Structures are given as C-alpha cells and as structure tokens.
Amino acid sequence: MATTTHADVISRIGNTPVVRLDSLSGGATSYWAKMEGYNPFGSVKDRAAYWMIRDAEEKGILKKGKSVIIEPTSGNTGIALVGIARLLGYKVEIVIPDKASQETKDILDRMGAKMYETSDDLCPKVGAGTEQSIALATSIASSRPDTYYSPNQYGNDANFRGHYITTGPEIWEQTGGRITHFFTGVGTGGTITGIGAYLKERNPDIQIIGCQPQRDHMIQGWRNFEESAKPDLFLRREHVVDEWVDVTNEEAFGVVREVLERDSLLISPSAAAVYACMKKLHIPLGYVVGIFADDGRKFGSVYRERGIFGDMEFAEAVRGAAHLSRLEY
C-alpha cells in the first residue's frame, strides 16, 4: 500500500473543483460553486492556515518541536492550523466560540488540539467590548512570547496572499476568464479581498459581491458589520467589494434541502448563505461563481436542531452525496 507523506497532504491544499449549479443556471446565466471542502482539512481555511504558517517559517518565527501556535477561530481555521501544524512539527491551541458546532469541537478534540471556549459570536467579533476570543489569544501569546505565536488571521497579509496567489488565479483559469460575478461571505476578509483583488486586475468589470448575514446570525465563520467591526485585513482592501447582499438565517437554511435534492450537494450553512444570495440577486447575463467554503458534514447537529434533516436523513445524505472528499481528520 502506498504511504501518504506530509508533503502529499500539503500539496492537496488548493486546486479545488468548480461545479455547475444546475438548480440556478438557466438562460444566459450559469452559476458555479468553488468547492473548498475538497481541501485536505475540509475548508477554504486550509489556504489561510498554510500561507500564514509558511510566512512565519520564512520569517524564522516558528521553531519545530518548541513553538505553539494560538489562534481565535470559529473552527475551520483551527482545524486547518492543527492539521497543517501537526504535519510540520508545531503544537496548536485554539480559542473557539462556544456556539461553534459540536462536530467542529469534536474534530478539534480528536486532532488533539487544546481548546479554550469563549461566549463570543460565531465568528470571533472584533471591536471594543466584543473581542473576547482575540483578547484571550493575544494575552496568552504575549505571556510567553518565546513559545507562543498568534498568526492573527484578522490582520495577517499572508491570509490575503494565499487567495491572491492561489484561489483567484484558479477561479480565473477554471472559468476560462469568463467569470462576471463573484460571491462570498466575509470573516477576516482574506477570501473576498484576495480573490477580488486578483480578479479585478484580470478584468475590472468583474463584480465582487459580499454576502452579509443578519445580526445575530448562525453562519459559522461570517460576520455582520453592524455588530462587529471590520477586521484590519478587510479594511486594507475593502474597495474591491462592489455590492453587498443581505441574507437571513431563514433564507440560508431554507435552501439546504433544495441544493441536496436538485444539485446532489450536501452544503454547509455558509455555502447555503452564498447560494441564497446568488439566487436573490437577479443577474440576467453572466458567469457567476460563489465560494462554498466547506461541506455539510460538520453540521448534522445544527441541521437536526433546525428541523432540516432527521437523524437517518442526514446520515443518508452524507452517504449519498457523491461529491464529498477525503478528509485528513
């Protein structure tokens, strides 16, 4: 049997497929999903985590067998950091909002990560009085600067560069340069600014559309800018965003079944929110791409709680969704 090396796993980050959404496509407009769940640790955040660790290694900040990486995250960045850091010889500690899905916490636990739970929003909030996760990570890191390193995905330009150098060019190539509209949600802003800046350089007419969840939302990884300040990373290049589309929890969760039935994809809440935004904005002529940041496997408990699937139905959906990739956890 062939053995999988660390380099093999790392080399599987990126180059995720783009699939056509038959349920939305029609007439002169086609809709496509960039399937980031295909990354080895299951989400778009493999890219940010890898690029931030690589950057810290290049700067000589990390020491194998000694350094501990600590980061506030709603889950996906944590899973990616733990998986990648473990391969490269570093420990990781995660500060996570208690509202993150139980499956996300279970995965981190199984991967051996030390976790600190806070009562933050689903995406750690930034801004006066609301920055518990970030403050906790920063205070632990500053207490032992010789050991701890916090990449700080909310301000780290390597997070932007991962998307500018990889995801943006992949989308341009995969659409043969035909893309007209790009949709994604915003957590740190790395995805929207990295991909947006690259696509605008190739064709300034491409519309970059940000998906904005309601206040008090249930979309793990996203933020609403009325309740939470814009992160530094996003602020540096927010000019790339042409338009915002609002999406409620109900609208997002309302399409999960539809996409399973019509496109045979078991999608995550944030992918559902992107889908709902794409469906909402009438685009008479275009080639539209949205980021599906992860897949639905980690959200069985959330979907059951909201009555979207029963236990058996969810298990059946996981078994039947042929698109689900091999994950490293």
Ligand X SMILES: Cc1ncc(COP(=O)(O)O)c(C=O)c1O
Give the range of 13-21, 59-67, 106-114, 185-193 binding ligand X by CB under 6 A: 185-193
> Can you state the percent helix, strand and coil of the chain, rounding each to 5?
45, 20, 40
Please, how many CA atoms are within 13 Å of residue 65, restricted to the half-sphere of its CB? 0
Interface with ligand X includes 83 (CB under 6 A)? Answer: no
Interface with ligand X includes 150 (CB under 6 A)? Answer: no
C-beta of 92 vs 186, nearer to ligand X? 186
Interface with ligand X includes 220 (CB under 6 A)? Answer: yes
Interface with ligand X includes 76 (CB under 6 A)? Answer: yes
Interface with ligand X includes 151 (CB under 6 A)? Answer: no
DSSP at 179: -
* Contact call for residues 42 and 8 (beta carbons, < 8 A): no
Coil vs helix vs strand at 99: coil
DSSP secondary structure string for all residues of 5-25: PHHHHHHTSS---EEE-TTT-
C-beta of 157 vs 294, nearer to ligand X? 294
C-beta of 16 vs 270, nearer to ligand X? 270
The least distance separating ligand X from the CB of residue 217, rounded to whole angstroms, comes to 12
Interface with ligand X includes 158 (CB under 6 A)? Answer: no
Give whole-number Cα distances, 256 to 38, 139, 182, in Å: 19, 39, 20
DSSP secondary structure string for all residues of 106-117: HHHHHTT-EEEE
Interface with ligand X includes 295 (CB under 6 A)? Answer: no
Count of residues touching ligand X (by CB under 6 A)? 17
Binds ligand X by CB under 6 A, chosen from 73, 104, 132, 184: 184
Interface with ligand X includes 270 (CB under 6 A)? Answer: yes
- Which of 34, 45, 91, 200 is the catalytic position? 45
Binds ligand X by CB under 6 A, chosen from 293, 302, 324, 327: 293
DSSP at 37: G
Interface with ligand X includes 39 (CB under 6 A)? Answer: no
45 catalytically annotated: yes
Give whole-number Cα distances, 262 to 7, 17, 25, 64, in Å: 37, 19, 11, 47
- Residue ranges that bind ligand X, judged by CB under 6 A: 44, 76, 184-192, 220-221, 270, 291, 293-294
